[in-house]
Structure 1
């Protein structure tokens, strides 16, 4: 795996050491990151940093080309989201591991609500995309991928492209975070779920980011040999610089609590309701609260915290660098996390040194270590959650201990280097024989 020099200075990625190969095809140029028109995204640094020239002693095997696809939304999508950020970071981790990832298609398979007509339309468009890609690679054989990776296929966004392309090209198929939704009924999404399950069965490797996804895959796979655990991660070196936030935090005195979450019906509103209920029992203690987020449920959320008066401040939606600015200003991060996949905000808060107060629900325990980087209450146990908040509010020493633990945990387990090592270990055996690449001992 490529090693990352300190992020405080400009750096270049060294070429991964490989043994000479006499049968490998000539190296092909790295593919560009193709943003959608008007998108403000840029190609990740790890995907565009120039490589050091190879030693002039023998022909060096070409880098393994990985076709990357996200059926929910492409990495260049203009609307920020956790899914988009994970997709971008996956491509950076692949590049750091020594591979050559490129976005193979920006076709969107996602549908928000069950609709047989929309399902058929999405499928037809994706099937046409298969024909287009195969025609391109037939005309340009040197540009063919050595492996296909699909991020986050699930019943609302199935992958109709990767599996047939892999069969046609005889290359390995890989998924990351294949999962299922609990929304609506099983019948509503049965067709999409069948597509995803067939793709997962075809996959040589299925990376799972949380235990619930592994359990789902184990429920229909003949065995678990294709499942590989991949811990959620962020690119610590590429976080935007936090900006100083202006204006008063909130009225009153005491530790500053920060919450960040969309204000939409369902799990997010449930989390706000639990936080409000917990803090309502702590009105006799000094604390201030800043809530970052917006959405159709904002009026409902503001009403929930009416008891706090001017001790609570609602900022609305703010740019990412301002979110990080608030994290640096806060004393603790409180977000219940109901049905949270794992939550990128938890990782960012811990990286900055904020202790976390959450529930041990869904994927939260994957990224927050109880009594290591935060305090986790049993799911729906509002008394335990309130007690954890009280414990953090009362003790600067406890907040400092857990904050330091969070920084260490993210750096050790949830950074780009850790993810790159996992990806390299699982993917190299699949592509080494095809490309002639072998890691030097």
Structure 2
């Protein structure tokens, strides 16, 4: 049964007044829901699942509802982000930590989140690793390439905006500027930094470079299916979903061994360079440009890696294995009450 609510806890910037207003709204909504479910117990939930509680969006409803109804409380991707100063978000962060500490299961998607949870949980028994996942069956026909030369196609995907994305584009340009051999490049993405990126890659002949712009997800997959090598440094990539999409399309990956990249690429599906080492990254790309058989082997390994570890099926099995016992125990408590 679906329950509609207009209550929100999110606030973009620190504000004591807004924090208290959001908390009061969620508290009132919590009491409304409990009254409704106590009046009609058959409509009450069997489990409460909260996604991504963090300082900007605490969960002021789930823990209390779960306790009142004696149902399991579960979170996924609880994390700490670097927002302003610690003082600005202290109360909200404390609320999140209290909620996460009360949870029966906390699904954790990346190493940095695991390290954060370890700073305040009394033990890590509630923490269940959940690998980032995608729909690996979503592929379709490959895009029609704009190149007539039949030579390897390098593909990069990233929004064209200041910050880490722009740093990755700059590192990629430095990497490719002296890359030997004959190859083509497709850049997928758009944004306020597009003109700067066009300048960065002006060293390439126009018939070797294609800027696809911002395209729908299925078209991104089509470009990946048409490519030969995924080339994205991955600076600041917390999880690196683009690397999963590329591997699902059968592309070998080249990137820096930085941030969350090593957590999502398969050992036999990627060539990773030390963070910031454009020379080593160039060597990896050169190796793949020159060796079609290696690209093929790594592409097969890439698809297998995603299917086994990062598919919806793999994630569903992890979630089912954790939640089924909780639901069974909760039902047993109800039947014996």
Which TM-score applies when normalising by structure 1? Answer: 0.70
Correspondence for 2:223 among 314, 321, 326: 326
- Partner-residue secondary structure (3-state), 1:248: coil
- Assess if the C-alpha contact under 8 Å between 2:141 and 2:225 holds in 1: no
Query: Which residue number in structure 2 is paired with residue 411 of structure 1?
Result: 307
1:351-385, CA deviations, whole angstroms, 9 ceiling, x for partnerless residues? 12111111222222121023x11111222222222
Is the partner of 1:376 in helix, strand or coil? strand
Q: CA deviation at 1:120?
A: 3.7
Structure 1 residues 156, 243: CA separation in 2 closer, same or farther (over 3 Å shift)?
farther
Indicate which of 290, 293, 304 corresponds to 1:394: 290
Is residue 358 from structure 1 mapped to residue 255 from structure 2 by the alignment? yes
Distance 1:155 1:136, change over 3 A: same
Q: What are the superposed Cα offsets for residues 105-132 of structure 1, whole Å, 9 maximum, x if unpaired?
A: 5754333444444434433433333233
- Give the one of 348, 373, 382 matched to 2:245: 348
Structure 1: give runs of 5+ residues left out of the alignment: 1-30, 33-102
Deviations 1:220-240, CA, capped at 9 Å, x for gaps: 111111111111122334x2x
Q: Helix, strand or coil for the counterpart of 1:291?
A: strand
Hey, what does 1:313 align to over in structure 2?
Answer: 210
> In structure 2, what is the equivalent of residue 429 of structure 1?
325
Measured after TM superposition, the shift of residue 246 of structure 1 is 4.8
Q: How many residues align?
A: 332
Say if 1:327 and 1:190 are closer, same or farther in 2 by CA, change over 3 A: same
Distance (whole Å) between structure 1 residues aligned to residue 258 and residue 143 of structure 2: 31
Cα gap change, 1:110/1:257 in structure 2, threshold over 3 Å: closer, same or farther? farther
Which aligned pairs between 1:176-195 and structure 2 lie closer than 5 A? 176-195=76-95
Confirm whether residue 374 of structure 1 aligns to residue 274 of structure 2: no
Return 5+ residue gaps in structure 2 as ranges: none
Residue pairs, 1:18-417, within 5 angstroms: 31=1, 107-237=7-137, 239=138, 242-246=140-144, 248-249=146-147, 254-282=151-179, 284-310=180-206, 311-370=208-267, 372-417=268-313
CA distance in 2, matches of 1:119, 1:300: 39
Equivalent residues of 2:254, 2:272 under 8 A apart:
yes
Counterpart secondary structure, 2:204: helix
Q: Which protein has the bigger helix share?
A: 2
The answer as to whether partners of 2:142 and 2:224 remain within 8 angstroms in 1 is no
Once residues 296 and 164 of structure 1 are traced to their aligned partners in structure 2, the CA distance between those partners, rounded to angstroms, is: 44
* SS of the residue 2:259 aligns to: coil
Question: C-alpha distance in 2, partners of 1:413/1:179?
Answer: 22
